[in-house]
A and B are shown apart, each in its own frame.
Chain A
Amino acid sequence: MGPIIRQTLIVILPTVAAYMALLVLSFVLYPQSPGRMLDPVKARDTFLRTPPAYLTYGSSAVARSGRTVVLLGPSNVSFGFRPNVLNAHFPDLTFHNMSLGGTNIEGMAAMADLVRAMRTDRDLTDVIFVAGLWYGEFQHNEALRERTPVAQQMMRFGLFERADDGYRRTLPLRLFEVSVEALRPYFLVRSILTRDGLLFGDDDTGLLKTRGNQKLVCTDRLRNGFRSASSGSLKQYGSSQFDALVEFAREVQVLGGKLVLIDLPNPRCMTDVDSVWREYQIEKRPFLTRARMHGALYWNFQDINEDRYFMDGTHPNTAGTIEIEARFSAGLAKEIGTLFTESPPH
């Protein structure tokens, strides 16, 4: 057996050395690991670099029990809800912003799968899922939950496995966290070698970091080129995402937790001319009714639609974020007794 071990060592030694070097380099370049409060804005500061990887492998933050609010949705939610600000309003709750740019309803459901997979003992009694809705999410007809970025990340390294009711973590929490740290070289190589990486391109800080005081300048070109022009009417996509919304509500009802649906605002200058927005107002009604029948709450924030609250057609600027957070905090303070006292109908 000696010659076999010797030859095997010769074969793998350069690779082991490369791995160790990358591991050390990763700790030097990105000392920060995902924290105890998830916020996709921070993804680029950690070794995980991209929001899907950050949310998936940093999800040990949601594993621990305790009253938790998980914010789901597309980039509108990434901009509109800052977990540290919300946490200051509700110190007894833990907020995690688990939104992902471009996500649709199935993407949110996949994120809820991730939370369920991580949560110790699959206890979701203390979890509120807050799902941000806007009509862009319903302009998808071929997306499957398995193909969403988070679902794909979950199946990458064998840290999760499929279960009857979604996914299951394969390792105990501590081992999971150690395994994620051991994967540092995987994430480092991409962040070095790719075109937008450290070595060959500019380290683009991304849209999320540019949040600030920009204000929307509503030009005709912008108005006419928005969703109805670029993505067509809602009808051509069928009702797959609306159905997914009802199914998502049903899953939360059955598997535990509470679901709050929030209709996110868009600037008036866009919605005034956007036929898809009008279509959405009509199409959503029966599906929202069905989602409510599964215990979901519905909060409408679409009236926070003054142009001064936005930086572009969908994303709120700082003023908009403050307004949205204030409205959300007020709603949560009002309903908090109901949301956390009712036991889930398992």
Chain B
Amino acid sequence: MSIGSPLFFLACFVAGIICFHKDRPYWKIGFLAFNFGFVATFFSTVETILPLALFCISGFVAIRISERYRGIAALWAIILALLILFIFLKKYEITGSQAAFEFDYPTIGLSYILFRILHLVIDSREGTINRSPTLLEYLNYVLFFLTFVSGPINRFNEFQEDHDSRPRNIPGNEIAAALDRIVVGLLKVFLVSVCAYQVYLNLPLTIASDPPGTGFALRLPDIVQFWFSTDAGDSTLRFSLRYMLRCFAFLVYMYFNFSGYMDIVIGVGRLLGFRIPENFNAPFAANSFMEFWSRWHITLSDWFRTYLFNPLLKTLAANTSSRNAGPYLAVPSFFVTFFIMGIWHGTTPAFVVYGLMLAVGVSVNMAFKTFMQRLLGRKVYNSYSGRTVCKNISRATMIAFFAFSLSCLWLDASEIARLVSVLGMFGVLKIWITASFATFLAVVAWDFAERCIMYRSHLTTDFLFITGIVFLASVWGDVGGFKSLLVDLTGLALPAPFFALMGASLILLSGRLKLITAIQLEDVRPHLRRISMHVLFFFLALLMQTGTVPEFVYKGF
């Protein structure tokens, strides 16, 4: 079942009926039956659900063992056993032909269940879980329909509180806020991310120097020719531009797709009385790669920080006597943490490269920060890094780097190798610098646009939103001649990516404005009318769409 589909909302309605009867006996069984029914929609036969069932049962047994045998050796043995089982069930390529089961089966949800099980195993042993989960609670937790597909990775204590709580009357403004959240999520998933996906999907990319008649045939200045050329002097201009555009289109697609799904599940969760943790917090406003990871896929980063980074740092600190090395200890800890986090995303060798890129990015960021703080002193460093220009340079390089890292998700290992062999390491660096420069300009323009909109009101927010929708709808058709009018006025053959970018930017700006103005929901009715108007415009724009709504990007991880 696809999250955001009409069937999904029908399922939510059924879940609502169950969740508003929490005070009835056997409601937990009813809720489990519902969760199980939801999960079952991802499996074609009874047989294919066996691996998931095996993993869930193993997890419960592991939790019980860890509660009984609290020694460190037992903990390691349990974790190792769970990891080995996970690697085989998830069909990682390192397992070769050693398949856990002979038949083909979906591996959906396994990764997130692993995180939840490990959290329960470790925290049960340390006694930080309020109350040991019963089998029903445990199954409802790991198979919870809103977080099963791809998180966020909610913690058990919070889930248990919501699970045990009695149904309450949700205030009108909370309902309106939740509905608003769901609408924003749908808009992100079905409009903005689809536009970006179309740009990404329809941009041909052959990893090679430009064919004759393109690239330098445009007679560009020498410096541009030098910048976009291989060591052999072949033009890579066309390829570089396409590659950069594809990277950014994928980044936009992934952000809107993922954060949109999170908005939907968080909104539905609020209505059903379940607190689902936030997974995004304006990640592109981060000033460094490290800060970025505290704003992007927050629950995953938190999980890795709690269960890998912190223990690793503690162990390193305990085994290091040199005082000078102390501040740098975080560097290897970050490297290992992010390398593993990268590998977790997929089962093929390309994800090793992805892990390496994330690891290098964060650890270099950390090493640079530590080195500069020691060189200049913390106060001077903070004053420099707080300057707008420095912040924007840092943001731009970070965003460009992350966009390139993500190309490991759509290139396979041989294509990555080919990319490096065609461009050379210096060529790759040149593209990153170019992309960083372009991002810098975009970031400055964005900040300027935010500052320019002085009159912050509902009217401005709505105007930006609707104009954004019109731009997005124009990606697929000349709505009311709007596209032609712009082309006639500017005299430029404006391409689809321009309309997609403008639409996404205006909608983002409208969202930012909503946050800045901190709209208070005192009177619910006008707010509901505004949401219903947004839904109507969103629906009309959706009717213009000719593109494919891609699968939820994180479903595959």
Contact = CB atoms under 8 A, between A and B. Distances in A.
Do A and B make up one complex? yes
Interface string A177-219: 0000000011011100111100111000000000000000000
Interface stretch (B144-152, B257-265, B385-393, B535-543): B535-543
A14 B172 contact: no
B408 interface: no
Interface stretch (B107-115, B201-209, B506-514): B201-209
Contact of A193 (B202, B477, B532, B542): B477
Given A142-B206, A189-B540, A3 B478 contact: no
Contacts of A19: 539
A15 B535 contact: yes
Interface stretch (A5-13, A94-102, A257-265, A305-313): A5-13
A14 B532 contact: yes
B175 interface: yes
A200 B271 contact: no
A18 B179 contact: no
Interface string A144-175: 00110000100110100000000000000000
Contact of A152 (B528, B542, B547): B547
B548 interface: yes
A281 interface: no
B304 interface: no
Nearest to A141: B206
Given A12-B532, A158-B2, A189-B544, A7 B17 contact: no
A230 interface: no
Interface in A211-241: 236
A282 interface: no
A156 B547 contact: yes
B495 interface: no
A15 B536 contact: yes
A32 to B, nearest CB: 20
Contacts, number: 94
**Interface range on chain A (Cβ under 8 Å from partner):** 20 to 34
A19 B539 CA distance: 9
A4 B170 contact: yes
Interface string A13-45: 111001100100000000000000000000000
B25 interface: no
A1 interface: yes
**Interface range on chain B (Cβ under 8 Å from partner):** 35 or more
A195 B547 contact: no
A200 B528 contact: no
B444 interface: no
Given A7-B175, A142-B206, A190-B543, A1 B17 contact: yes
Contacts of A201: 481
A336 B169 CA distance: 72
Contact of B477 (A3, A11, A15, A190): A190
Contacts of B535: 11-12, 14-15
Interface in B291-324: none
Nearest to B528: A10
Contact of A200 (B183, B204, B480): B480
B20 interface: yes
B373 interface: no
A176 to B, nearest CB: 15
Contact of A18 (B528, B539, B544): B539
Interface string B471-484: 00000111111011
Interface in A104-126: none
A61 B214 CA distance: 45
Contacts of A194: 477-479, 544
Contact of A1 (B16, B183, B532, B545): B16
Given A10-B532, A236-B211, A152 B175 contact: no
Contacts of A188: 543
Contacts of A18: 536, 539-540
Contacts of B183: 11
A11 B544 contact: no
A175 to B, nearest CB: 13
B531 interface: yes
B5 interface: yes
Q: Which of A14, A22, A196 has the most chain B CB atoms closer than 10 A to its own CB?
A: A14
B533 interface: yes
Contacts of A158: 2, 5, 549
Given A8-B179, A18-B540, A185-B543, A156 B548 contact: yes
A199 B183 CA distance: 29
Contacts of B2: 158
Contacts of A186: 542-543, 545
A189 B543 contact: yes
Contacts of A10: 528-529, 532
Contacts of A152: 546-548
A11 B17 contact: no
A294 B89 CA distance: 38
Contact of B533 (A14, A185, A189): A14
Nearest to A183: B543
A187 to B, nearest CB: 8
Interface string B213-228: 0000000000000000
Please provide the 6 A-B residue pairs with the shortest distance between their CB atoms, ordered closest to farther. A195-B478, A189-B543, A142-B204, A155-B548, A194-B477, A15-B539
Given A3-B172, A142-B206, 15 more contacts: A1-B17, A3-B170, A7-B172, A8-B179, A10-B532, A11-B179, A11-B535, A14-B533, A19-B539, A142-B204, A186-B545, A190-B544, A193-B479, A194-B544, A195-B484
Interface of B: 2, 5, 16-17, 20, 169-170, 172, 175-176, 179, 183, 201-202, 204, 206, 211, 271, 476-481, 483-484, 524, 528-529, 531-533, 535-536, 539-540, 542-549
11 contacts: A4-B16, A11-B179, A11-B532, A13-B532, A14-B533, A18-B536, A156-B546, A158-B549, A186-B543, A194-B544, A195-B477
